[in-house]
Structure formats: structure tokens, C-alpha cells
Structure 1
């Protein structure tokens, strides 16, 4: 009997006082010695010192010896397919270690249930008494594999008799992941609804915002592999695919009206039909303006008009354009503002390489700092302010790259846009003069000389008349 606690261990009455070191109390390390005071124990004698009347005992050695005997007995009688009892000793992420009488066996997480679990602690707790089946036993290496689910029939063996591909069934959501929903359609039989099979049209970022574990939902059986315990399910296929009607509802170059349903960095989405949106890319918002973010110009629920640019039914994409509602001003820039044209423009942007100037038709031209330094001796930031108006001359046009080079040197006689256009047209329509005969030329020359002679005579007569009046 353990009588009291002493330094470094316990004092035990075995007829004479004996010392039980703290390291020898149990198989595991013990920190609270007081819990053993007053208990009767069985222990092995480690050392006896008759001169000092000192006896050292060990409960740990006794338990180890007893365990070894039990272990030997278990190993001699253990065999595969046996159903035995055990105590849950330790729980890990991958399974449970079970004490089956001095020997530990592993119950792997995949052998705990026919259904799906995230952690073994969902099924058992440390100290639980469990009934398990021996799946395999390696006596030489003393490795024992145990199974819990194998105590019950495999539900997947009967599932093909109850569930058919194309069948609509009710199920309970058992787990939610980033890639889909696991739905239990029969006891311990689960299928996966991949995130791509949730909706034909909705973009779902987080399934947990829409569904909860335990929710009952309707699903369609898409595929079934009972041998590998796999089943694919679908929610969206319970209804019709609205994209199949898109090419009948809309045509390329068709004008449409709709509400903005979403705004991103790269464009705006416009709702065409319930669940079907078209994208206006940021580059298709305006021919002339530099839009840094679509939200600078549009808001969700704004009504807009656009043109259908492309329909990709297979990939469920519709491209729209807003700028295509009006003609591209760059198409007529050479006609309206040919090289040499002087115009009044507004400074729209100043950069470290020059200034952008907005023309009356909305497009922008650039006057580079190298040009300004050569002509004015200063850079753009020293000469201009945004919103300021000044006159500039077009010095180069690159229609393909949509670039217009400008200068501050004005032409001697700056043509207006209309005058220049008229002159250009006249040049195109101008024809070479017709050749005349020699006889005709002589006749014209005679007429001109006659006109010149008459004028001279009139001048002389006028002079003589003035002289006579003075006399």
C-alpha cells in the first residue's frame, strides 16, 4: 500500500518501508504523485540494501512484464478477419491507434466508415471501447491493420440496383469544399457535385455562401462507378441550358440594351437574359478616351446600349462593344486633318515625354518633348496646363497605330478643316488643260494686244486733255 509522498517518489508499505521512484510508477510519465496515495499496487523489487534496510520497487517493470505476456498471447492467437475489442489509445490526422491487449493496431481513417469524414475524432474519442475487425497482421514486424467499416456490408455493392444514371434523387449535403459539394444520396453513399455543375450561368466564388452542411437538395445522377466508389452529380442539369438559345436570340452586329450587372478592372458585364451576361471590354468602351477603370464612367444597374461583336456559345461568352455604336473618328482623320492643318486643341494630359492634345473630333495627338525643346526650348510641363487651349499643327499621321504627331509651329496661312478638305477635293478633280490650235492662240493674242492698245490710247488722250486745261 502506498502510504505517502516522499522526495522523488512514493513510500510503499510491503511489510517494511519501500521506495517507489517517480520514474517507476507507471508506463507513462507521472507528474501528480498524490493520486496514488492509499492505493494498493503490484510491483517488482528492483534492489534490496540490507545494511540500510532500503528496498527499491518498480510498478513500471511489473506492468511491462505483464504487458509482454499479454502481447505474446495476443500475437500467438491474432489472425486476419478476427473481430476483437480494443481501447482507443491515440488519435492522429490519418487514423486511430487502438490497444488490443498490450499490442497497438492502426485503424486508418479510410477504414473507419464507408462515408466521408474529415478527421477520425468525428467517429471516436480517446478511451472509447470499440469493436474492430483485423484486416491484416504482420507477425514478424508486429503490424496490425484494423477496420471499423468492414463490420457492415459495403453499401456501394447495392447502389447500382437502387440508383441509375439520369435519375433525379434527393440528398443531404455532407461536406463542402472549394471545388464542390459532397451529397449523401443513400446511407454512406456520397456523390460529388462539382462547382461547374452548380449553375449554367452564375459565377459562384464561395459555395459556403449558398449552401450549408445538412441541407437537402435535388441532384441528377450524371455518372456512377460503384467499383471505385465514385458518383458524379449535377444541379444545373435539372434545368435547361439557356445558352442553347443564345444564337437564336442574338446576332453579331445586333444592337442590344441591358443593365450593367458587374464591373471589373477589364470591363463591364451587361445582362442580356436572366443569367446570361455579355462583356464590354474596357478597350471597347470608347474610341478616343483613355479610361483607367470602367467604374469611373459606369455604375451597376446603369442601362446601356451596345453592339454584339461575337458569340462563343461553346465557351459561354458574348463580346459586346459600346464604342462601335458610333463611327471610328480615326477613319477620317487624314481627310479632316491632313498634314499641315492648324487647329485649336485642348491639353488633355501631360506626361514625362510630352503633352496629349484633344482635337475637336475627340481623338488625341501628341506633341513630344523633343519637338517642344527644339521649337520652344521648354518641356510640356513648363509650357502647358491641363485644360489649356492652344493652336497646333499636324506634322505626321499614323492611322494604323492611331498616332498623331503635333507641332507648335503654325503654318503661314493655316487652312481650316473645310478649306483644306475643299482644296484636297479640287486637286483630285482638277484635269489637265485642253490643247488649242495655233490659229486660236494667235486670235487670242491679237485680242489681248487690241485690249492693251485701247488702254494706252485712253491713257494718252487723258494726259493731253489735262495739259490743254492748264494752258
Structure 2
């Protein structure tokens, strides 16, 4: 006899399938007469599907879950690793069995993760699911992530930025996105960068809505370069230029900030269209310039250290954050300074006087020479008019030679004061740098710090009293020393030249001076005119006494 025959009442009872359908209908939310059903919303539980619930409690090695079902669900506690759940936590897990030996629903969050991985790439989907996992180890080319199964994360996908040491990521709980999966080979590739980029874009949109110049923001140093540091201020990176890291001189950026360091910064520039943000670390703290008007008023004498050399001067640090410029013209008295390296070197301590202070531009002008005795103050007493002096040629210019008489005092010999008789085009024709010379003071100006000298006036003027020594009609003898198209110059006394014009050579029109005399000829001439004032002597040729054509 069959089982049904043994129990004839069963044929009149509903089957298990009919009972399940009836329960589903009873648990489903329905609306009766337009009034929502206020009863609980129940979940249909089937094996090999995902179910959602809420953690009720943790009992020894089991996590008990409310599934809004006739039975509670249970998950092995060891599937959570170190992150033990708390009552009230939402959970999504895979149904291993609708009813275990204890009448509970057997669940697995790890299997749920695996199924989500495969689901994310089902039917060729291009974007995978977002999974939670833990980076368990660093391997060649990337990291291993436990997402309920072993997944590989390439190094370039570990972060938005390059991670030099992947070992620093091991142990992190992360969210990742599936970017490749092969169910047959059970191969899964994930990306943390994709998730971080999405979050970052969301943060950036919110940041740009509220960001303004002058705001103080907290950020993290993400990159360090030679010219500054980049800081993530919550969705976007801003640049702290090297000059905005500290009020003082910064040699290396690493001396002020380190990677991953949390810093407080002030927004100094913001270009919304170009998405560029300028930041300042130094402005987030007190400024040393706040007390500069008291400590560095014009006329104040202080000391500092040379921290920079420019073509036109030296940068001197007076204190951390306050620097001033000593222009080359303020480095020392008298002698012109071509470049600051001739006077100071980096790191050298110097004494200075404040010339001017500009608080708006945070600039201070300094002088080194004004803390020393000014040798020009006693110029007229030490170098009165007509004083004969000795010195060394220190430099040559087109217009004359500078003679150093003492430290800080230079005098100028103009080209016109180098010779009584010669027409000098450049001082190098008569002197060279380093030559020892004797000169005479012909002018001094204390206010303008100028001292005029003459070399030629140390000797008698050969033109003195020339009209008395060479009266008209006097016969003189001399040597031809220069030739021009209009005549010949004859030296009639030491340093004294006279001109024999071609018209006074005794030949007709068209005669050229070189046809009559040559350089070196000794000639006899008659004085036609002589003038001390115009420094000129005119001669008429009588005869050539010696030399060619004599």
C-alpha cells in the first residue's frame, strides 16, 4: 500500500508547494479599500540567492540576522575577520540553505561577495560592482585584495596617485570596483582608484561650490616638487609655492612639509574654470611683518645674514621671515661694485642700516655702507684743490680712468686730463688697470661724492706763454711728426706741435703735403702766428734740412 493509502487524510490536505504560495500571498504588502496594510513586510527567501537583513546579535561564533522571514539567519563570525559586526548593522549575504538542522537560514557574506563579482560582469557589463575588502598582501605589480575571494589589484589601480611602497597599503579596509573577471578561471581584477576617483569628483563639486580666496582649509600633502608642495584640500589639489611655505628662506621643500602630512592652509588663488588653486602655508600662521614697523623703522641699525645673491644686490635675512635688499650701490663707499659677489658671500653675517620699509609690499631696503664711516664726509679736508696724490688705476671707462686713492675713495681722470698734447680717444692709450700714477686734485664735490683728478697737470703746460716764446717772424727748427691731408705737424719743443698748412709749403695749388715732406724730416720754418689761448702755432716752410727730399 502506498504512503497516501496509509494516510488517506493527506489527499485532502494542501501540498507543500500550495502552502508556500499561500504564505507568499499572505506576506506580500497589499492594499485593501485604499488603506495600506500596516503589517510587517516579509522577505521571500530562496536558496542560492542574495538576502538582506539586520544584525540582531553576536553569539559566540555566530552572527544572528533578522531577515523579516519566519526564521532568523546565521552567518559564521569568522567570515567578518577583524571587523566584528554590531547589532543594527545592515548585511547582504548569500543563502546557502533555507533551513539548517536548527531550523535557521544558513547565510554567507563571503559567498555573497563572490556572487556579486560574477554578477557585475554578467552579460558583458562594462562597470563592475563596488565591493568591500581588505588588502592582504603586496605582490609583484600590485596587491591582493580579499573581497570574499582572492582578487588582484594592479599597482596603478591602488590609488589616485602613485604609491611608491605598496606595503604601506597592506591591512587597509577598502572599497574596490571590479574591472575584469573570468568565472571559469576564477580570476578577478579590481580597482580602488576608480572608487576613489568617483568619490573625489563628488567632493570636488561640493568643494568648488564653497571655495573662496581667503578661506583657511585643512588638507594633506600629496606630492612634493622642487618648486613647492601639492595639497589635497578635500576633492582637489592646490599648490603651495616654495615661497609660500614659510616666512623665512626655504632651501628645500622637504625641510617644511612631508608626504601625507596634514596641514592648514589659506586659499590665495582660485581659477574655477582652469581648476587651479593657489595655497599658502605661511599665511595660516602669524606674520613676522606684523611687528616690522617697530623693529625696522628707517634709520635702524641691525645685523643679518646673506641668504641670496642677485645681479643687482644681496638678500639679507634679518630674522626668520623678514628679508631685505642691499643694492650694489649701498654695499660700500666710493668704489663702484659691479656684482655683489665682489663684496659678500652666501651665509656671511653683515651689519646694515634700514633705508626704507614698505609694509604693504613686505619690502625693506638696506645699506651696508651707512654703518661704516663715510670717507667722503672729509673729502675737502683730505683732498683740497691742487693736492698732488698717488693711487692705482682701478678701472677704465670710455670717458676716463678711475684712480683708487684709499679704501672707498676713487677719483676720475677724464680723457682730456691725460695729456697736454695728445688727443686721447680712450684711456687705455695712456694707462692700464693696476698702474701706479701721480695726479693732482682739480675738483671735489662732497655731496655728489666726486673727486676730479688730472695727470697732465702734474707737469708744466707746454703751451704756457707760447705767444711770447714764439713771436711772429721767428725762425724755428723742428721734426715732422704727423701728416694730414691739409698739412704737416712739426714738433718745435717737447710736447709742442705746430702746423705747416699745405698753402704755406711754397708750392702751387694741388700740392699734397706728402709730396713736400715726410715724417721724420727736420725742417726750418718761420712762425706766422702763436696763441696760448687757442693752443695753436702756425708755420711757413722755409726748407727741408735733413731727411728724405732734403
Q: Structure 2 CA distance, aligned partners of 1:346 and 1:280?
A: 30
Q: Structure 1 CA distance, aligned partners of 2:308 and 2:269?
A: 33
Tell me the equivalent position of 2:202.
Answer: 69
Q: What secondary structure sits across from 2:463 in the alignment? A: helix
Q: Structure 2 CA distance, aligned partners of 1:82 and 1:148?
A: 10
Q: Structure 2 CA distance, aligned partners of 1:263 and 1:140?
A: 57
Q: What secondary structure sits across from 1:237 in the alignment? A: helix
Q: What secondary structure sits across from 2:452 in the alignment? A: strand
Q: Structure 2 CA distance, aligned partners of 1:88 and 1:46?
A: 26
Tell me the equivalent position of 2:220.
Answer: 86
Change (3 A) 1:263 1:188: closer
Tell me the equivalent position of 1:262.
Answer: 394
Task: Give the conservation status (yes or no) of the 8 Å contact 1:194–1:234.
Answer: yes
Q: TM-score, normalised by structure 1?
A: 0.64
Q: What secondary structure sits across from 2:377 in the alignment? A: helix
Q: What secondary structure sits across from 1:113 in the alignment? A: coil
Matches within 5 A, 1:126-275: 129=261, 131-135=263-267, 141=273, 144-162=277-295, 165-226=298-359, 228-252=361-385, 254-262=386-394, 264-265=396-397, 266-275=399-408
Matches within 5 A, 1:57-456: 64-72=197-205, 74-75=207-208, 81-89=215-223, 91=225, 96-116=229-249, 129=261, 131-135=263-267, 141=273, 144-162=277-295, 165-226=298-359, 228-252=361-385, 254-262=386-394, 264-265=396-397, 266-291=399-424, 293=427, 296=430, 300=434, 302=436, 304-306=438-440, 308-351=441-484, 354-368=487-501, 374=508, 377-380=511-514, 383-385=517-519, 387-395=520-528, 400-409=533-542
Task: Give the conservation status (yes or no) of the 8 Å contact 1:259–1:300.
Answer: no
User: Which fold has the larger relative contact order, with Cα–Cα distance below 8 Å and residues 6 or more apart in sequence?
Assistant: 1
Higher helix share: 1
Unaligned runs of 5+ in 2: 1-136, 142-146, 148-152, 163-173, 182-187, 545-550
Moved more, 180-189 or 228-237: 228-237
Task: Give the conservation status (yes or no) of the 8 Å contact 1:375–1:408.
Answer: no
Q: Structure 1 CA distance, aligned partners of 2:176 and 2:456?
A: 93
Give how far 1:24 is off.
10
Change (3 A) 1:140 1:221: closer
For 1:301-334, what per-residue CA distance to the aligned partner results, in whole angstroms no more than 9, with x for missing partners? 635252x221111111111223334553334333
Tell me the equivalent position of 1:417.
Answer: none
Moved more, 284-293 or 183-192: 284-293
For 1:70-121, what per-residue CA distance to the aligned partner results, in whole angstroms no more than 9, with x for missing partners? 433544676764441233447586x65434354122334553322355x885
Give how far 1:357 is off.
1.9
Moved more, 361-370 or 137-146: 137-146
Q: Please provide the CA RMSD for this pair.
A: 5.2
Number of aligned residue pairs: give it: 399
Unaligned runs of 5+ in 1: 6-13, 15-19, 30-40, 49-54, 412-471
Give how far 1:288 is off.
1.7
Q: Structure 2 CA distance, aligned partners of 1:86 and 1:401?
A: 84
Q: Structure 1 CA distance, aligned partners of 2:489 and 2:515?
A: 11
For 1:264-312, what per-residue CA distance to the aligned partner results, in whole angstroms no more than 9, with x for missing partners? 2544444555532332323123322344545646774635252x22111
Moved more, 211-220 or 157-166: 157-166
Task: Give the conservation status (yes or no) of the 8 Å contact 1:350–1:381.
Answer: no
Task: Give the conservation status (yes or no) of the 8 Å contact 1:258–1:303.
Answer: yes
Change (3 A) 1:302 1:150: closer
Change (3 A) 1:343 1:323: same
